[in-house]
Amino acid sequence: MTKIEPLKDGHGRFIRDVRVSVTDRCNFRCQYCMPAEGLPWLERDQVLGFEELERLVGVLASMAVCDIRLTGGEPLVRRDFPRLAKMLADVDGVADLSVTTNGFLLERDAGKLVEAGINRFNVSVDSLQRDRFFEMTRRDALPRVLRGLEALATFPDAHPIKINAVGMRGFTETEILPFAEFAREHPYEVRFIEFMPLDADHSWDPKLVLTGDEIRREIDAVFPLEALPRDPSATARTYAFKDGKGKIGFINPLSEPFCGDCDRIRVTAEGKLRTCLFSLHETDLRTPMRDGISDDGLREIIRDAVWRKELKHGVNEPGFRQPERTMSQIGG
């Protein structure tokens, strides 16, 4: 049997992680992601089907892309999503299957998702105050999300559970210490993510970015922190509370870019390969798949696109252009 070479880009980085969007639809309308009225959804036949996703993940896994994260939109709104998760968990070569969700449907689906084989969960929660959660998401859903987290936490195989909060100046400052206390009192690792230029209104401004270092210093002044070792390809810088009560993390793509160690690619819900979150170009995988291309042919298309993967996102550089697509359309 011919050994298949691992997937590598033109800068020598091996690609091991793929973010696969299973839908562009979402039941929230978060300010940093989409407008209040929502966005036009893809037609059903434009979205990759379960068997297409299974095949694509299998092709990627054959090239040592072994960490699969399922995203959206909101992945749990995809009909029969736990069945899809089981199909992908069973793909040969998949070592880790995770999901990023807003948590709204976790109370219903937590058990089925753990049973399907999802072993890591990231849940987006931008405020622990009901009125401010509504302000950010445009949905009065905080109690339901927290119940979903509690349901998920009852399953030992679901841990670690990570809570993602976007750090936005003028909004997040009053959330910092409550989130730190939340991380100390619950079996969740809270992670602050710097606000990135992926909003639907294209109104992002660097002045709106509340940096991870600013947040970390405020927490450390009240609850002393100590840095934990970081895997080179990890997006988060993780800290433990010195008294042993939990962990907290910071994802700083703007103030401390980690592009040099990036091992990630993305596939949109309609089967477009993106080699960077901020890519201005995409590679169509759906059309050749539906036209009957062989697995070897599909691998060649993927290799050619990944070889041209961007060295860095360039957000902080002159001439940066924000992608037309929003986070919900790319796959969060």
Tell me the HSE value of 90 on the side-chain side, using a 13 A CA sphere: 10
Enter the DSSP assignment of 103: S
Structural domain includes residue 3: no
Average pLDDT over residues 88-102: 97
Task: Compute the mean pLDDT over every residue in the chain, rounded to the nearest whole number.
Answer: 92
Contact between 101 and 148 (Cβ < 8 Å): no
Average pLDDT over residues 153-160: 93
pLDDT cut 70: percent of the chain above it: 97
Model pTM score:
0.94
Contact between 2 and 54 (Cβ < 8 Å): no
Structural domain includes residue 219: yes
Cα–Cα distance, 308 to 213 (Å, whole number): 32
What is the pLDDT, as a whole number, of residue 291?
Answer: 98
What is the pLDDT, as a whole number, of residue 216?
Answer: 97
What is the pLDDT, as a whole number, of residue 220?
Answer: 98
Structural domain includes residue 10: no
Average pLDDT over residues 131-158: 95
Q: How confident is the model at residue 213 (pLDDT cuts 50, 70, 90)?
A: very high
Which of 85-94, 151-160, 266-275, 318-327 is predicted least confidently? 318-327
Structural domain includes residue 312: yes
Contact between 26 and 77 (Cβ < 8 Å): yes
* C-alpha dihedral (252, 309, 53, 29), degrees to nearest 10: 40
CATH classification of the domain holding 198? 3.20.20.70
* pLDDT(1) > 50: no
Q: How many domains does the chain have?
A: 1
Cα–Cα distance, 109 to 101 (Å, whole number): 11
Average pLDDT over residues 105-131: 96
- 250 strand-pairing partners: 192, 237
* pLDDT(280) > 90: no
What is the pLDDT, as a whole number, of residue 163?
Answer: 97
Average pLDDT over residues 52-78: 97
Average pLDDT over residues 187-203: 83
Task: Read off φ and ψ for residue 285, nearest 5 degrees.
Answer: -105, -25
Tell me the HSE value of 129 on the side-chain side, using a 13 A CA sphere: 12
What is the pLDDT, as a whole number, of residue 201?
Answer: 67
What is the pLDDT, as a whole number, of residue 200?
Answer: 66
Contact between 137 and 129 (Cβ < 8 Å): no
Structural domain includes residue 8: no
What is the pLDDT, as a whole number, of residue 277?
Answer: 86
Over the range 120-156, which residues count as b (16 or more CB within 10 Å of their CB) and which as e?
bbbbbbbbbeeebbeebbbbebbeebbebbebbbeee
What is the pLDDT, as a whole number, of residue 199?
Answer: 66
What is the pLDDT, as a whole number, of residue 2?
Answer: 61
Structural domain includes residue 12: no
Count other C-beta atoms under 10 Å from residue 45's C-beta.
8
* pLDDT(111) > 90: yes
Say which residue, 73 or 322, is predicted with more confidence.
Answer: 73
Cα–Cα distance, 32 to 168 (Å, whole number): 9
Structural domain includes residue 79: yes
* pLDDT(31) > 80: no
Q: Which domain holds residue 268?
A: 17-330
What is the pLDDT, as a whole number, of residue 318?
Answer: 77
Residue type at position 242: K
What is the pLDDT, as a whole number, of residue 186?
Answer: 95
